[in-house]
Amino acid sequence: MPARLLLLADQVRAPCRLDLCFSILPRSLESRCSVSLDVLNTSNGLPQNTVRAILQTRDGIMWFTTFDGLVRYNGARFEVFNKGNSKGINSTRFQSLYEDVDGALWISSEEGGLTHYANGRFRTYTVDDGLPANGVYAARPALDGELVVATTGGLARLQGERFESMSADDNGMAPRLAIQGPSGDAWYSWMQERGS
């Protein structure tokens, strides 16, 4: 059975099949190496062709963030969630996705806060809930397992139902992402604004 790849693009005009043979495979397996390519774009259900992030959750569902909503794809059908059709969503301009250990989704938005999705319900956290800013780059687990959020105004940690600001950098740079490396060290990527 061939592997299945999804191609998110507006440049491909017709369904196609792509046969790939990987140089890391033994020659005896190369003839059996094929990949089925599915093209996903606005003509078959995406709300927009610019996809910011892709995540496959542990239940096998594919999630996409776009600037016109959050998209759930089950392999056959798209379902689009946005502030016009889903209670608890404040934005349509989504950026990144993170699935926590409980299987809940955390979805960052450009200026609408951080949206949490669990048990079929959305809830958006904003500055009113302790976030330093409503522009959210990403959410990730801290080394202790607690949720840390990188916003345009700095880092925050989820404490119960509220976020608390946390210090990250003395140089005033805007945080982008924090991840744990293989050694257990925390790695942060920073973006400094021009002229700063």
Instruction: Tell me: do 34 and 46 sit in the same domain.
Output: no
**What is the distance between the alpha carbons of residues 83 and 52, in angstroms, rounded to a whole number?**
18
| DSSP 8-state class, residue 44 | G
Instruction: Tell me: do 162 and 95 sit in the same domain.
Output: yes
Q: Does residue 84 sit within a domain?
A: yes
Got the DSSP string for 90-134?
--S-EEEEEE-TTS-EEEEESSS-EEEEETTEEEEE-GGGT-S-S
Instruction: Tell me: do 36 and 56 sit in the same domain.
Output: no
Residue from 49, 75, 52, 50 nearest 62 by CA = 75
> What's the chain's length in residues?
196
Q: Does residue 60 sit within a domain?
A: yes
User: Coil, strand, or helix at residue 30?
Assistant: helix
Instruction: Tell me: do 113 and 75 sit in the same domain.
Output: yes
Q: Does residue 196 sit within a domain?
A: no
* Bridge partners for 187 per DSSP: 179
| DSSP 8-state class, residue 194 | T
Instruction: Tell me: do 29 and 68 sit in the same domain.
Output: no
Instruction: Tell me: do 47 and 36 sit in the same domain.
Output: no
**What is the distance between the alpha carbons of residues 98 and 38, in angstroms, rounded to a whole number?**
24
Instruction: Tell me: do 11 and 98 sit in the same domain.
Output: no
pLDDT tens sequence across 111-165: 999 999 999 999 999 999 999 999 999 898 876 778 989 899 988 999 999 999 9
Instruction: Tell me: do 29 and 101 sit in the same domain.
Output: no
Q: State yes or no: pLDDT of 37 exceeds 80.
A: no
Q: Does residue 28 sit within a domain?
A: yes
Exposed, middle or buried, 8 (CB in 10 Å: 0-12/13-18/19+)? Answer: middle
| Domain count along the chain | 2
Instruction: Tell me: do 115 and 21 sit in the same domain.
Output: no
Between 33 and 44, residue with greater pLDDT: 44
Instruction: Tell me: do 122 and 156 sit in the same domain.
Output: yes
pLDDT tens sequence across 47-93: 988 889 999 999 999 999 999 999 999 988 899 999 999 999 999 99
Q: What is the pTM (predicted TM-score) of this model?
A: 0.73
| CATH code for the domain of 118 | 2.130.10.10
Domain that holds residue 96: 41-191
Q: Does residue 115 sit within a domain?
A: yes
Instruction: Tell me: do 92 and 127 sit in the same domain.
Output: yes
